[in-house]
Amino acid sequence: DVKVTQSSRYLVKRTGEKVFLECVQDMDHENMFWYRQDPGLGLRLIYFSYDVKMKEKGDIPEGYSVSREKKERFSLILESASTNQTSMYLCASSSGTRTTDTQYFGPGTRLTVL
Amino acid sequence: AQSVTQLGSHVSVSEGALVLLRCNYSSSVPPYLFWYVQYPNQGLQLLLKYTTGATLVKGINGFEAEFKKSETSFHLTKPSAHMSDAAEYFCAVSANDYKLSFGAGTTVTVRA
């Protein structure tokens, strides 16, 4: 079974703090993704990575950055957290050889910025 | 660019009744279409996907969806709802890259 784990289920931070969200997958997948999920908006892609040290902006990259130093780990960084970044963050991975490959999701991190 | 519209943010059905969730897409190239389900406090799980070939796709837990190119639709159905089907359902489309564009989601409530 593919397993995607996220470092925290719930996180509370203060405005201006630097926040790290970590994601690890155990299936040697090429692609990894970060989404945010908001009610009524579905999932929106923040960033994705198709290889180690490679990244590409998604639909809403502003205020976020990412890091992928190892194949299994993909980090989302909020350089200076703001209240409008309060959301559910979901990480996903896929094998990456075909566009139709299934994305496997982690359980999510619910981030609250006060 | 591609996008997805899910009609109805909430659907309530009786146990044993038909579940019908509507999804329409727009895509400039032949699309790949997906339905994902999210149970409470969990991540998303793939229900089914359409890539090429047969337009009626069967998925897990008794769900199926039909790709209708002329209607740009990919509606999800299940003949008989079960209490365990209560969840949020997302339709998604992918074009020629690895990225998915998701709809806003439909929450299904099942009444006993």
For chain A, percent of residues with pLDDT exceeding 70: 95
Q: What is the mean pLDDT of residues A58-71?
A: 95
Whole-number pLDDT of residue B22: 97
- B102 CB burial (10 A radius; 0-12, 13-18, 19+): buried
CA neighbor of A47 nearest in space, from A69, A72, A67, A26: A67
Whole-number pLDDT of residue B31: 85
**Chain B residues touching chain A at CB-CB below 8 Å:** 4, 6, 9, 32, 36, 41-46, 49, 51, 90, 92, 94-105
Q: CA-CA distance, B5 to B73, in Å (whole number)?
A: 9
Q: What is the mean pLDDT of residues A69-76?
A: 96
CB B93 within 8 A of CB B100: yes
For residue B71, give the DSSP letter: G
The pLDDT of residue A10 is above 90: yes
Chain B nearest-CA residue for A33: B99
> What is the pLDDT confidence band of residue A68, given thresholds at 50, 70 and 90?
very high
Q: In chain B, what residues touch A8 (CB-CB under 8 Å)?
A: none
Choose between B53 and B86: higher pLDDT: B86
Q: In angstroms, what separates the C-alpha of A108 from chain B's closest C-alpha?
A: 6
Window from A12-16, B31-35, B79-83 with minimum mean pLDDT: B31-35
Are B43 and A96 in contact (CB < 8 Å)?
Answer: no
Phi, psi torsion values for B76, nearest 5 degrees: -105, 135
The pLDDT of residue A38 is above 80: yes
What count of other Cβ atoms lies within 10 Å of the Cβ of residue B21? 23
Residue B84 three-state SS: helix
Q: What is the mean pLDDT of residues B83-87?
A: 96
The pLDDT of residue A98 is above 70: no
Are A31 and B51 in contact (CB < 8 Å)?
Answer: no
User: How long, in residues, is chain A?
Assistant: 114
Are B99 and A102 in contact (CB < 8 Å)?
Answer: no
Whole-number pLDDT of residue A43: 94
User: What's the pLDDT tens digit per position in B13-50?
Assistant: 999 999 999 999 988 777 899 999 999 888 899 999 99
Q: CA-CA distance, A11 to A37, in Å (whole number)?
A: 15
Q: What is the CA radius of gyration of chain B?
A: 13
The pLDDT of residue A99 is above 70: no
| Residue in B9, B36, B94 nearest the CB of A99 | B94
